[in-house]
Structure 1
Amino acid sequence: MSQHLEHRAAFETHLIGFFYRQWLMYQKPWPKGTNLSGQTAIVTGSNSGLGFQAARQLCQLGLTNLIVAVRSQTRGDTAADKLRKEFPNSSVSVWLLDMASYDSIKAFAKRCETLPRIDITILNAGIRTDVFRPHAVTNHEIVFQINYLSTVLLAILLLPVLKAKKPTSPGATPPRLSLVTSDTAYWAPPFKSPGPVLVQCDESENYKPMAAYPRSKLLQQFFVSKLAEYVDPNDVIINLSNPGLCGGTEFGADAKMGLFGRTMFTIFQGINGRSVSAGTNAILDAVVARGKETHGNYMSDWTIQPFPSCYYTKEGQILKERIWEETLEEFNFAGASKIIQDMKR
């Protein structure tokens, strides 16, 4: 449906649209009878902020098994201990996952095969930085690497695992896979055209953090909208979820804004930011309260929202195909193309 909401894209992109979302859109109560008993969920980046709150809210809904997927064992154990004390009926496990390492991502996806069932997967881990920093191994700019490439690779590797773990009981909801994105994609600077797309994310000259971060999220939206065409929602429901601007998170914690920049951002965030609880509720709405109607869509503010305006243009559709091809080429080492083709069978 996001693919058909071009008429609303301009408003959502406008600053008025941002303030409307932040001030006038409120979290909705869970559908009557919502209960996650017997279900298993995976949340990446769940030791703090939105990820931790997502884990907590899932347990509040009666989740039986939770996988806390984090980079640090110590921080993961601290978060898990808090959850175990508050929710003794939920089983909480800490699994290591370094989104800066393709080997770690592949190992994590392989480990997921050992789970008897997987109902909900939330790919929340991501970063923002104000300093251009190339990845030590891939040489990709680190925000582009983690927010887009690593997140999309993990999503692809998990698809056949989730399909194999789907419940077989009549009327059961298929596994849900949601990539946490951002409405900053509405303001991402355009890519140069024609020519390769992804290499533009690795340009160090005139690096701008508030270009790199929105671009990483824009790429997510282009890719997932295409990926959903290859995945049967009866096997896996895949979507994108946006928490909106939230206060009280570690967003931008590793950014070097300077005193003035940090002060201004903190004030803006404090005035306009949602609570972490509300932002998390918006994310979970996409995987708990909704179903197949969200497949391939951008979920924001408790509803299906349009993609950025550029998506609907002729150039945007060409861009989508280019992003798709270049991304799959990047993942030749992991057999991504075959995985996706096999999902259609």
Structure 2
Amino acid sequence: MMPSSREMQPLTSNYWRRFWRSQHTSPPQFPKDLDLTGKVAIVTGSNTGLGLESSRQFLSHKLSRLIMAVRSTDKGETAANTLRNAHPNATIEVWPLDMNSYSSIQSFVGRAESQLARLDIAILNAGCNKLQFDANSSTGHEETYQVNYLSTFLLATLLLPALKLKSPPGSPGRITIISSALANIAKLPEHKDIPLLKALDDPKTFGQGTYGTSKLLGHLWLWKFVDSDYVKSDEVVLNLIEPGFLKGTDFNRNLPGAMAVALKLFQALVARAVTDAGTTVIDASSVKGKEAHGCYLADWEIRPFPPFLYTQEGRDAADKLWVETMAEYSFANAQGILDKMKQG
């Protein structure tokens, strides 16, 4: 059996050389004979970009029911109507979900628990990349960290019981969370600060590296999640996926003029088509088996975690982040949910 991400040795070769090879020498793997008949999937941020493409590919493999979790239901319905026309036999619903709001996340999960008789797959794709410092109005956290880390991993935690209970015996529920290769070179100079989360909310430390660091936090969370063995792979398979550097999405739509032009030129040279990237999501959530639990995947393969996590400082930071994150989630009893999952 292939080793897990934790069991692998960290990658030490030049990041940008690996990036170039990934973008140019890793052909997409379109799954053959994948039949998702009867299955139900949630995809967040699914009205555009990778979320929409992943939804389209799930439906092309005969997914029976799709929940499009979006902030704007109007935009969601527009996207859903296109999918409904192409896949009239599937049930496609648009549910509101604002990743800037803990109460919205709780309401969404409550609806899934009460209205879905079955749930097989959750793709946590919604994210943000802020160009300037903005604090979340309800939590006070910087919004990139709020959406990409705190809200995303709260949603993952709260969905675990439903995915365990509502997936058929012998077919574990699946959670795939969209990450980024930038986590591999992200910096976390605040790792010695107490509290860590508060240090990350300092406007003075905000910059171009914030997005990558927000994704690195997800790796630290997953390291501790696996280390504590909260969920067995025959119950729920949870992993992180790097879809590649993409073109054909609206993710960087807020870039100013000169930066937008430079990005488009760079995308033209090296970016992966969103259609190809969609296959990485299908692979991680529906093709790979239990061996992918607790792993980080890139280029359709299991890869090691970022090098930082194989250092003592990285593991200490993961310990600290876990404690602070569970304290942040105390209103939702997240630690209690995980402890109950572990008990069986």
Q: Does the alignment pair 1:272 with 2:242?
A: no
SS at match of 1:2: coil
* Offset at residue 264 of structure 1 (A): 1.3
Counterpart contact for 2:30–2:279, Cα < 8 Å? no
Counterpart contact for 1:249–1:276, Cα < 8 Å? yes
- Report the equivalent of 1:243: 243
What is the RMSD computed on CA atoms of the aligned residues?
1.2
**Cα distance change of structure 1 residues 268 and 333 upon mapping to structure 2, 3 Å threshold:** same
Q: Does the alignment pair 1:6 with 2:5?
A: no
- Report the equivalent of 1:56: 56
Displaced runs of 4+ in structure 1, greater than 6 A?
none
- Partner Cα distance (2:320, 2:267) in 1: 35
- Partner Cα distance (1:180, 1:225) in 2: 16
- One-letter amino acid of the structure 2 residue matched with residue 110 of structure 1: G
Counterpart contact for 2:45–2:125, Cα < 8 Å? yes
What is the percent sequence identity of the aligned residues? 39
For residues 136-285 of structure 1, what are the structure 2 equivalents within 5 Å?
Answer: 136-168=137-169, 172-196=170-194, 197-208=196-207, 210-228=208-226, 229-255=229-255, 258-285=256-283
- One-letter amino acid of the structure 2 residue matched with residue 326 of structure 1: E
Q: Does the alignment pair 1:330 with 2:332?
A: no
Counterpart contact for 2:121–2:163, Cα < 8 Å? no
- Structure 1: give runs of 5+ residues left out of the alignment: none
1:33-76: per-residue Cα shift (whole Å, max 9, x none)?
31000100100000000000000000000100000110111101
- Report the equivalent of 2:95: 95
1:228-255: per-residue Cα shift (whole Å, max 9, x none)?
3211111111101111100011122234
- Report the equivalent of 1:36: 36
SS at match of 1:17: helix
- Partner Cα distance (2:302, 2:23) in 1: 16
- Report the equivalent of 2:316: 318
SS at match of 2:225: helix
- One-letter amino acid of the structure 2 residue matched with residue 235 of structure 1: E
* Offset at residue 285 of structure 1 (A): 0.7
Counterpart contact for 2:183–2:212, Cα < 8 Å? yes
Counterpart contact for 1:119–1:175, Cα < 8 Å? yes
1:135-172: per-residue Cα shift (whole Å, max 9, x none)?
1111110110001000010001111111111212xxx3
Aligned pairs, number: 336
* Offset at residue 221 of structure 1 (A): 1.1
**Cα distance change of structure 1 residues 81 and 307 upon mapping to structure 2, 3 Å threshold:** same
1:271-320: per-residue Cα shift (whole Å, max 9, x none)?
11100011111122101111110000001110001111111011111111
TM-score for both structures, normalised by structure 2: 0.95
